[in-house]
Amino acid sequence: MDLFLLGLSLMKDLFFAIVGAWIGAWLGIRWARREANEQERVRKERIKAQLLSALEFNLKQAEQALDALSKGGQPNFPLDAIKLNALVTDSYGIVSNELWKDIEWGSYQFQHLHDKLTILNTAFLVMSLSNSQQAVANSPLIIAHRTSLEKHAKIITDGTPILIERIKGEIGH
């Protein structure tokens, strides 16, 4: 009889060990999923905030460049296209493919505008070494670059606010 009770006690202990392990595993999996979901939510919010910040900064710089160009000035403030390019990669998979392509397009446009500003300023400075600033400003090369730059800045300043609103509407939902 003692052997029977010992066997029954072992079966009971084994049953509770198995049930306890299953419950522990189930709770651990649920907790891990909850943590992963929370980390993903935080990551999306961080990327959204950084993306909006980079777009708004670059938009402000493009607006200042457009204003300076329209008044005959020489814009010399750079854009932060590198940060925006990195955020394009981070945003892949957390936004729709259509929005991602538009973010990538916007990033390309800011990089292109940044490069045009750099070329214009470099040409202006180099030409200023041997000519007066007035002569340089009126040169056909500088006028052509400025006209191209002004058109490009206008495209960006018109399209970026729409892109910003689309990002605000999609990321985080």
Residue 29 confidence class, pLDDT cut points 50, 70, 90: very high
pLDDT in tens, 72-112: 777 877 888 888 888 988 888 888 899 999 999 999 999 99
Residue 128 confidence class, pLDDT cut points 50, 70, 90: confident
Angle (nearest 5°) at CA 97 between 108 and 44: 85
Mean pLDDT, residues 58-70:
89
- Cβ neighbors of 47 (< 8 A, separation 6 or more) are 87, 90, 91, 94, 171
The whole-chain average pLDDT of the chain stands at: 86
The rounded distance, in Å, linking the Cα atoms of 159 and 151 is: 13
pLDDT value of residue 3: 64
Asked if residue 27 has pLDDT above 80, the reply is yes
Asked if residue 21 has pLDDT above 80, the reply is yes
pLDDT in tens, 155-165: 999 999 999 99
pLDDT value of residue 54: 93
Mean pLDDT, residues 135-161:
85
- Cβ neighbors of 81 (< 8 A, separation 6 or more) are 58, 107, 110, 111, 113, 114
Which range, of 62-66, 85-89, 123-127, averages the lowest pLDDT? Answer: 123-127
The rounded distance, in Å, linking the Cα atoms of 68 and 86 is: 28
pLDDT value of residue 134: 73
